[in-house]
Structure 1
Amino acid sequence: MAAAVAPSASRHASATSSPDPQAAAAAAATDAPLPSPWDGLETSILTDLAKRGLLSTLDSIKEAKTLILDPSLAGPLGLVADVQSLKHHGVERMFWLENHSPAFVPKTSTSASAAAAAAAASVNAHGHPYSLKAINAPTRSVVYICRPEIRWMSAIAEHIRADRAARPSSPLQHTYTVTFVPHRTEPCLQFLDREAVLSDISLLDFGLEFVPLEKDVISLEEDTAWKRIYADGDHTSIFRSAQALMTMQHAYGLFPRIIGKGNLARRLADLLIRQRREHLASDPTNPSLTTPSTSIDSLIIIDRSVDLATPLCTQLTYEGLVDEVVGIRNAHVEVDPALLTGTNQPAPPHPSQPSGSGTPLQMTSAPKKRKHRLDSTTDLLFAEIRDLNFAVVGEKLHRAAKRLNEDYEGRHQAKTVSQIRAFVGKLGGLQNEHASLRLHTGLTEKIMQFTGREEFNRMLEIQQNLVAGLDMNAQQQGIEDMVNEERSLVAVLRLLCLSSIVGPGAGGIKAKNLEFVKREILQTYGYQYLALLLTLQKAAKGGRSSTGAAAAAAAASVNGHAPGSAAAALPAAGSASASGDGVTTTLVFFLGGVTFTEIAALRFMSRQTRNRRFVVATTNTISGDSMIRDLSHGCL
């Protein structure tokens, strides 16, 4: 485990059972904060619901506890609860959960070759044997919050076996609780049982569902949803999506209409309707399951496979390019500290703290990048430029800098005490604007370095020609030229997939041409990418469609009819469409991920209508690069 990330805290005395998200949704709705200037759906209800679920789970363990957290959950949980809240609910220290050490040999590894390999790996760089990794927790109670993955089960099993080895004739030093997000799975339980540690573990489930990334964007934050659904054939994410949408109906009322596009959209809609019937059978008088919502008029489900072309094209909005170049995860970007502090000096190193495994941190002189939340409610400049085409962002930043400079110059006109007091009163706001301008100017410079490269412009030209259907043979030759020049493999594969999807005819690229370019890729970049090519070919078969599925489906909702698709209109109950002066919301759910450009398009549609707003719901946010990397099994 890495360094501690939270200080000591006092124990919280109260304890409640972990609530069911759907049962708590109605209560969360009544206690929601006052509406924000956004006049659409009040999604802060979902933040409150997730926070209640997390804190109630912690309160079910009555003693002070050490929290060991799956790093992939830090972002989603950080959007719903802060460190101070965790401290108030009995968390004294926090550590990151790390993979098991080379010394850990699972009891299920019975083959001689596996045991020999493990023994050989159990020697460090100095030739000394490793020991089992033990935790260094200051409290008796240790609580893990993690995804149900075997690698985390291995790490937890190692901690318990190290505890036993240190005290062979005494009870364990710690009590262990594993909280699965969103729920436990049979493979994980079987693994813990085979490792003979299941009896020493208390099990909990925390059904984290929709997390608001913005006032109009909510996400399940399942980073691997695209790969699991469309490459692995694992439909767990579809079931989770249905559960989360069911919780929304408990909070906001029944969706009056459900329409969708794509085969898996049909499956999700059917599952959602079946779940509603099951809930009604057990609670027939529940008003949230019998009364149409007054705030949501429709649910539109977009199966990502009906439009793979959109994410494969390079995003050209500011926020989209920030995602393409820097990367946005859980509404955060990682940037150089200088962009946030305004100084080029490296941040002073923090004193080393013991990690959960007892290994001291190795401090380096190079400053680490810092995470920053991209929040349009506190960063008005970001709210202004995030959905704009990047070509006009520079002018917007110039105007903002000029206006800010004029505001600062106002201090020279402050002569009287009251004028000075007025200037000092707005100084804090000016400093915040200055910090925002510095951040976005730095990000813009980084993007311009990326977009100014010859490779980027060639890739963009090929993309646009492919989508426009211009001289497909010439575009194919352009892709082959990039292979011969050993350009970025991710960029090459992105263009190849796009060509396969939007190419003329039923088969996309001709089989002869496809085999030729595959052979060229393997000979140029290495045969370790053969599995990736086969996986991409399989995933792309279901993605041949026209671009703009999101806009088409959303427009169909506005016009009152469903787009031609495998999922036709599925009436749920009644009919809360926009009428009069009231504002209604259309919920657009992307199964398999959404791009920031598609979000920008739906925001544009919201601005074009007087009384309709679009809220984006999704399994996660994606880009063409992330889709390909997710399928690469770590080889990219």
Structure 2
Amino acid sequence: MEMNASPNSRNAQQNIADFNRTLFFSALDALDGTKVLVWEQLLMTPFNMVAGATTLKQHKVVAMYDLNECGIVSSIEHTRVVYVISSTFTAIMKLIAHLNSIRTLRFTDDRSHHVLIVPEATLALRERLQQNREVASMIVSVESLPIRVYPLYEDLFTLLMDNTPAKLLLNNDWTELYKCASALRQLELLALSLPNIRCKGKWSAQIAEMMKKMRNDVNETSAIRGKWNITDIVIIDRWIDPLTPMLTQHTYAGLIDEIITFGPSGNLTANFFPKKDGSEGDIPTTRSLRDEIFLQLRDLHIRNVGKCIVQTVGEVRDEKKILKEYPSMESMAERKVFVRRVVEAEEKEFNTRIHTAIAEHLMGAVRDDRQMSKFLEVEMNIIRGVYGERVIPFVEELMYDAFQPSRVLRLIALQSLTYGGLKPTTYGTYLRLFVQTYGAYETALWIKLQLMGLIYEKQPRIKCNYAPFEFQLSTKRLGCFAESDGNDEKAVSSAYSGYIPILIRHIELGVSNEWKDWATVSSPDQLCLDSNSTTLIFVLSLWNAGIKWVNDRDTVQWGLKGEVFDALLLENL
């Protein structure tokens, strides 16, 4: 049951973390003297994965502030202010407002202001800063900080690219593909040799072509070569299988994201977390779920979570018993080992209490919330053809009750994708009820989903950017339905009550036939195929573009199960 991280997974995470730290510290060390960091709030948590406060002090960082909350930072302890912001116009406007507030106070400011834009200081962003002459005169330098990939867990990386589908399908912003290609190119440069690139889907093909050009571009050639043995980078469009994100995962992580909601960096905010002193939580608290126990529970079916927690409680109890009976310690080394084990046992016990509270909350929602249990039932009935193409009574009831519109639209989109579009009468009934219940403001979300090809009539009048999805044909060809009772932890079908996602079936088929049906850019190097070989799987156009890695080709199916970021957050469109 326990999912211990292999040395390969730790090495993969360490490779990315070390590369990011090198980029960040090089940018900081290029600025002499003591400095203060002012963060855009959005980047504070992701950069905790890069460097902590203690490490930053070694690079002459004397203080850190939130851009949203900091006023005029005292200049007594430092000579430089470094602003770390994302590459968005929203962040630029916040920075301009902050610098304007300093300027209006009319005090002598001898400090130099520097801006680091993550991951790229584009020409458009630089020009926006230059438009405000007073602010531009205060800024000494504007540089790119090309950190593109963040290790979320030991086997999962994220690019933190929000709303990629909307940008591609609604705004036709193809620079998103270039950003993905640049991130994957960074990973290539950490490998022993250039890996093969496998791709499926038109967006993935464009990324592969960009990476091929980057390889051939003399200006892009880099001497960076790591020790990470990546043999294949597998790129696949999420839009090959847009249906699966509409479903509720029955895993621990899937239900957390459904009921409580993860932040973009794996953080969770709730008011029921227990406190260190043993008392019950009463105010909203944010916790980072990246501990060892979460990695054990993450991909388990919710019904198996309790058994795993009980096992962990037993392990903690046994460890504390051993520590109580610990023999006398004569050397300093023995004392250090004892103290470390005590701290680890206490931390593990506290994390167990945290996950017990989360599991109780999830089980309460699944067991006691009639609508939640009904959602799970209706979703499976839709994809198994119980309702056909007629109007679903439960969806009508939700609209009569003015239930959360994004949840209603997920069910409508699920039915639409299952049958290759809705019959005109069904489509008209849903649309009329939706407009009457939610009004014009929420109807804009319906229109966006229609433009993206998630809700549409049979023989649609609106042509979408991506080809229509043929669910029934694909599931029959790939064999996507299997019997599952949720007890087989390694069966991906347990996450969806017997349904195996089409995207995963495509990858499994690619592995079994050596990527016969996938477009491939072959490696120019001699690849080393051994037990340490790693395959990176990049799923393009998630709401947070993400990368999974697997080093055992036989576990691809299990390695992709329980994707935390694979929930469709319609509110963000």
TM-score (norm 2): 0.80
SS of equivalent to 2:8: coil
Q: What residue ranges of structure 2 are gaps of 5+ in the alignment?
A: 330-334, 455-463, 472-499
Change (3 A) 1:134 1:432: closer
Contact 1:463 1:495 in 2 (8 A): yes
Q: State whether structure 2 residue 133 is matched by structure 1 residue 211.
A: no
Structure-2 residue corresponding to 1:491: 407
What does the per-residue CA deviation read over 1:265-302, in whole Å, with 9 as the maximum and x for residues that have no partner? 111111111111114x775x96969xxx9822222111
Distance 1:521 1:39 in 2: 50
Q: State whether structure 2 residue 209 is matched by structure 1 residue 270.
A: yes
Structure-2 residue corresponding to 1:624: 567
Structure-1 residue corresponding to 2:520: 569
Q: Which of 575, 580, 583 is equivalent to 2:532?
A: 583
Change (3 A) 1:411 1:90: closer
Contact 2:130 2:136 in 1 (8 A): yes
Q: State whether structure 2 residue 259 is matched by structure 1 residue 325.
A: yes
Segment of structure 1 superposing worse, 74-83 or 337-346: 337-346
Quote how far apart the aligned CAs of 1:313 are: 0.7
Change (3 A) 1:227 1:70: farther
Q: What residue ranges of structure 1 are gaps of 5+ in the alignment?
A: 1-34, 100-132, 347-365, 632-636
Amino acid at match of 1:493: L
Change (3 A) 1:513 1:522: same
Q: State whether structure 2 residue 142 is matched by structure 1 residue 230.
A: no
Structure-2 residue corresponding to 1:184: 121
Contact 2:148 2:183 in 1 (8 A): yes
Aligned pairs (5 A) from 1:473-492? 473=389, 476-492=392-408
Structure-2 residue corresponding to 1:80: 50
Structure-2 residue corresponding to 1:19: none
Distance 1:415 1:272 in 2: 57
SS of equivalent to 1:535: helix
Contact 1:42 1:215 in 2 (8 A): yes
Structure-2 residue corresponding to 1:52: 22
Q: State whether structure 2 residue 390 is matched by structure 1 residue 451.
A: no
Aligned pairs (5 A) from 1:226-625? 226-279=165-218, 295-329=229-263, 330-336=265-271, 338-344=273-279, 367-375=283-291, 379=292, 381-405=293-317, 408=320, 414=325, 427-452=342-367, 453-473=369-389, 476-503=392-419, 505=420, 508-539=421-452, 540=454, 541=464, 542=466, 544-546=469-471, 548-562=501-515, 564=517, 568-573=519-524, 576=527, 578=529, 582-593=531-542, 606=552, 608=554, 622-625=565-568
Structure-1 residue corresponding to 2:6: 37
SS of equivalent to 1:301: strand
Distance 1:416 1:148 in 2: 57
Contact 2:297 2:308 in 1 (8 A): yes
Distance 2:319 2:5 in 1: 27
Distance 1:562 1:415 in 2: 55
Q: Percent identity?
A: 22
Change (3 A) 1:372 1:415: closer
Change (3 A) 1:173 1:325: farther
Change (3 A) 1:614 1:457: closer
What does the per-residue CA deviation read over 1:353-380, in whole Å, with 9 as the maximum and x for residues that have no partner? xxxxxxxxxxxxx7441323423xxx2x
Distance 1:142 1:472 in 2: 61
Distance 1:263 1:216 in 2: 26
Distance 1:252 1:447 in 2: 40
Distance 1:159 1:432 in 2: 40
Amino acid at match of 1:622: F
Change (3 A) 1:297 1:384: same
Distance 1:323 1:471 in 2: 27
Contact 2:153 2:290 in 1 (8 A): no
What does the per-residue CA deviation read over 1:494-514, in whole Å, with 9 as the maximum and x for residues that have no partner? 1112112122x4xx1124422
Contact 2:269 2:287 in 1 (8 A): yes
Quote how far apart the aligned CAs of 1:529 are: 1.0
Quote how far apart the aligned CAs of 1:492 are: 0.7
Change (3 A) 1:267 1:254: farther
Change (3 A) 1:450 1:137: farther
Segment of structure 1 superposing worse, 323-332 or 267-276: 323-332
Distance 2:203 2:327 in 1: 68
Segment of structure 1 superposing worse, 512-521 or 443-452: 512-521
Amino acid at match of 2:311: R
SS of equivalent to 1:259: strand
Distance 2:249 2:23 in 1: 36
What does the per-residue CA deviation read over 1:90-140, in whole Å, with 9 as the maximum and x for residues that have no partner? 2222221229xxxxxxxxxxxxxxxxxxxxxxxxxxxxxxxxx96334344
Amino acid at match of 1:252: A
SS of equivalent to 2:190: helix
Structure-1 residue corresponding to 2:98: 159
**Number of equivalenced pairs:** 516
Contact 1:296 1:584 in 2 (8 A): yes
Contact 2:240 2:503 in 1 (8 A): no
Distance 1:481 1:608 in 2: 44
Change (3 A) 1:322 1:294: closer
Distance 2:319 2:104 in 1: 66
Contact 2:190 2:228 in 1 (8 A): no
Aligned pairs (5 A) from 1:84-123? 84-98=54-68
